[in-house]
Amino acid sequence: MITTRELKRAELNDIWTIDRSEVIEASFVMENGALVLKPEHIDVPGWSPAMVKATTPAFETGYDGGDWFCGLFDTDQLIGIAVLGNQLFGDNSDFLQLKFLHVGSRHRGQGLGKQLFDAAATEARKRGAGRLYISATPTENTVKFYLGLGCRVLIEPDPALFEEEPEDIHLDYEIGTR
């Protein structure tokens, strides 16, 4: 049975047990304000040790600072995760950042990513946000997933977030649009 609940701090390392494997055949780039799909073959076997090493302390700091971690479980096995930041930002202080969203390889295509996304949007609304900011990995499936949920490409991304991830596709989601 698939269930959703907030993660406990002690469960943060379980994120790396989620099956990250996938084969990427194309990625998007921004050219003159438009998304352009480019062929690219990448076989991703799992989480890289460098990513685990760099991201784990950031997760711990975020958790301790009030970031929201929502896990998707198949019985007791963590199979998906959404991480929502806790600092409102933007010109109108109405954005919260969707920092991370991932569903394990075996469980994709079942609506579980949408379930996590909707849970994050609901939590963001509770925290006073009207919009989600997403720095999406530019892979075809990821960007199409977010666009299919009603996200829009930001022509003028947040400068600090763009500097952190210039290759990502920066998106905006207006909460309550679906």
Report helix, strand or coil for 152.
Answer: strand
Domain of 106, in residue numbers: 2-174
Confidence of residue 177 (pLDDT cuts 50, 70, 90): low
- 147, two tokens: 């666009």
Report yes or no: 73 and 107 within 8 Å, Cβ to Cβ: no
Residues 6+ apart with CB under 8 A from 119: 4, 70, 82
Give the tens place of pLDDT for each residue, 32-69.
989 999 999 999 999 999 999 999 999 999 999 999 99
CATH of the domain at 83: 3.40.630.30
Number of domains in the chain: 1
